[in-house]
Structure 1
Amino acid sequence: MKRVIAVSLLALALAACKKEASPQPGVAPADPASTLPPPVVVADAPIELKEVVETTPNYVVGITYDTQAAKYPGLAKELKTYADQARAELIESANGRTAKENPSPYELSLTFNDILDTPDLVAVSADGSSYTGGAHAAPLIARFVWLPKQNKQLKAAELVPQKQGWDAISRYVREQLHSALSQRIDADDLAPAVRAEQIETGGRMIDDGTSADPANFAMFEPVKAADGKLSGLKFVFAPYEVGPYSDGTQTVEVPASALLPHLAPQYRAMFSGGG
């Protein structure tokens, strides 16, 4: 008898639960999602850009942050990631070699400097070298262009989204680099045959390094005009990209007038003549 009463009470309880869960006529059921708390937007944590000085028998590291980028945590994170990766690669190479391979310590030198710092656009340069044996050090060159209001890095492919834009930029940059190559070779007063060979070899490196691919133009610096806008962009090419190591880092400034027809609409107003 007690078991029957218990079963009956359980049935009544279940029926009551179903009744409470059933929506009332004319009343829409509650949306479970509406009861969830709003999403929490987590800001980038502050990044401390501290000078790094390490001297060991195996390697020497010097990293300097001569920049105000720490006030932009997202940008600071990009800079520190670049520096940390370069340091880690050097230490890995240093620890993996033997004294017979190279008795001298490996060396890394890297400096970050501000190029531009405005409410709308920030640019930082990274320049240095990493020596892990061989005839000379490998260059460490990077450029970081940051949009503070969007909290993101401005990439070349986003700035100029269409291939015809890179075709035009490629032609302009090639013309400038070929002209500079001719001037350098003419200054050496070489024999005609040697001059012709160097022109051909150098020209081929220029053409290979400036094909109409945004990856070839990933490093650029905004150039500020007198009106506070940008008068153009300076594209930066590390050694070996458009010439031999002896030619060093090369740059070509492309004026705003040549860039404007090809810029994404949302970035044109940043340039002189762009509205």
Structure 2
Amino acid sequence: MKRVTAVCLLALALAACKKEATPPPAATAPAVTPGTALPAPVATDAGPVELKEVVETTPNYVVGITYNTKAAQYPGLARELKHYADNARSELIEAANGRTAKENPSPYELSLTFDDVVDAPDMVAVSADGSSYTGGAHAAPLIARFVWLPKQNKLLKAEELVPDKAGWDAISRFVREQLHSALSQRIDADDLAPAVRAEQIETGGRMIDDGTAADPANFAMFEPMRSADGKLSGLKFVFAPYEVGPYSDGTQMVEVPAAVLLPHLAPAYRPLFVGGA
């Protein structure tokens, strides 16, 4: 089951580039020399971006957006956060303006909060969590993660961090094992009849397997886990409701330690992790 959110607007990372004194006629982005350094900084518009709290209350819709983050000091990252929030707001307002009071008398609602997860000179991570209600039984989740490399002025994307399928095969196996174990524990706690338990294990297991197939798109949301020495002890992969389980299971997270990741990381990023260098 592919990653599903009502508003799934993952931030696009800017392509790495490198200036040269006399560029060749058909210059392309230089490859990273294994084990040497992170990709060169990306040239972007350096203009400041204001991350201002949004509070709107109308008969048709209610919007609340909060930025509990220091991301404004990184214009490129701030631009990504604001783009995500602006799009979520625009979609809600469009849906609200297209409905009739008879269809749904209650105003549509958007709630979204950005928080700092990691704030360090070499890496910044921001979480976006909220919901968008446009009718129906419950609100749709709004969940995103943004990992920013200040020195390279770019977002770190899953497919760049782990560049080959073998790596995603290994990560998929590890994550599936953790999610299947958690599923069994939740179902066992309900003390269900054997037939009902078997059915829920089968259904839940199928959702887990679909949502964790060895494709970086299934692992696009992750949080860095920092150790005491400042290096990364691993990554916490984040799965929104419906991705690896029913809505009632909520957001699920799986911690993958550096030891599992290291053999599959792109050489340029290994030094960021414990045991990488």
Match of 2:164 in 1: 162
- Match in the other structure for 2:240: 238
Pick aligned residue for 1:260 from 262, 270, 275: 262
Name the CA distance, whole Å, in 1 between partners of 2:45 and 2:113: 27
Q: CA deviation at 1:186?
A: 0.1
Partner of 2:40: none
Backbone CA RMSD of aligned residues:
0.7
Structure 2 equivalent of residue 145 of structure 1: 147
Quote the Cα distance in structure 2 between the aligned partners of 1:227 and 1:164. 29
User: Which of 72, 80, 83 is residue 82 of structure 2 equivalent to?
Assistant: 80
Distance 1:43 1:189 in 2: 57
In 1: Cα distance, 2:222 partner to 2:47 partner: 27
The residue number in structure 2 matching 1:192 is 194
Runs of 4+ in 1 over 3 A off after TM superposition: none
Deviation for aligned residue 1:42? 6.4
Letter in 1 for 2:210: D
- Matches of 2:44 and 2:55 in 1, distance apart? 32
Q: Which residue among 168, 181, 184 is the counterpart of 2:183?
A: 181
Larger Rg: 1
Alignment-mate amino acid for residue 138 of structure 2: H
Superimposed CA distance per residue, residues 189-223 of structure 1 (whole angstroms, 9 cap, x where no aligned partner): 00000000000000000000000000000000000
Give the structure 2 partner of residue 12 of structure 1: none
Q: Indicate which of 104, 107, 110 corresponds to 2:109.
A: 107
1:201 aligns with 2:203: yes
Distance 2:138 2:92 in 1: 14
For residues 239-258 of structure 1, give each alpha carbon's deviation from its aligned partner in whole angstroms, at most 9, with x where no partner exists. 00000000000000000000
Q: 1:132 aligns with which of 113, 131, 134?
A: 134
**What's the counterpart of residue 227 of structure 1?**
229
Question: What displacement does 1:226 show?
Answer: 1.2
TM-score, scaled relative to structure 2: 0.84
SS in 1 for 2:103: coil
| Aligned pairs, number | 235
Which residue identity does 2:249 align to in structure 1?
D
- The question of whether the paired residues in 1 share the 8 Å contact of 2:72 and 2:78 is answered with yes
Comparing both chains, which one has the higher relative contact order based on Cα–Cα distances under 8 Å and sequence gaps of 6 or more? 2
Match of 2:33 in 1: none
Per the alignment, residue 174 of structure 2 pairs with 172
Structure-1-length-normalised TM-score? 0.85
- The Cα shift of 1:227 comes to 1.3
Q: The residue matched to 2:117 in structure 1 has which SS?
A: strand
- Find the aligned partners of 1:47 and 1:230 in 2 and give their Cα distance: 29
Instruction: Find the aligned partners of 1:228 and 1:89 in 2 and give their Cα distance.
Output: 39
Give the distance between the partners of 1:165 and 1:59, measured in 2 at CA: 44
In structure 2, distance between residues paired with 1:98 and 1:50: 31
Q: Give the Cα–Cα distance (whole angstroms) in 2 for the partners of residues 71 and 226 of structure 1.
A: 25
- Map residues 60-79 of structure 1 onto 2, 5 A cutoff: 60-79=62-81
Question: Does structure 1 conserve the Cα–Cα contact (< 8 Å) formed by 2:44 and 2:76?
Answer: no
Do the aligned partners of residues 78 and 194 (structure 1) sit closer, same or farther apart at CA in structure 2, a change above 3 Å counting? same
- Quick one: distance in 2 between partners of 1:175 and 1:237? 15
Distance in 2, Cα, partners of 1:42 & 1:80: 16
User: What secondary structure, in the 3-state scheme, does the structure 1 residue paired with 2:81 have?
Assistant: helix
Listed as ranges, the gaps of 5+ residues in structure 2 are: 1-42
Percent identity between the aligned chains?
85
- Counting helix residues as a fraction of each chain, which structure ranks higher? 1
Question: Are the equivalent residues in 1 in contact too, given 2:225–2:235 (CA < 8 A)?
Answer: yes
Q: What residue in structure 1 maps to residue 17 of structure 2?
A: none
In structure 2, give the amino acid aligned to 1:175.
E
Q: Distance in 2 between matches of 1:136 and 1:116?
A: 31
- Paired with 1:207 and 1:258, the residues of 2 have a C-alpha distance of 19
Q: What is the CA–CA distance in structure 2 between the aligned matches of 1:253 and 1:267, rounded to whole Å?
A: 18
Amino acid at match of 2:224: P
Contact kept in structure 1, 2:128 and 2:142, CA below 8 Å: yes
Q: Which amino acid aligns with 1:165?
A: G
- Aligned partner of residue 242 in structure 1, secondary structure: coil
CA drift of 1:43 comes to 3.9
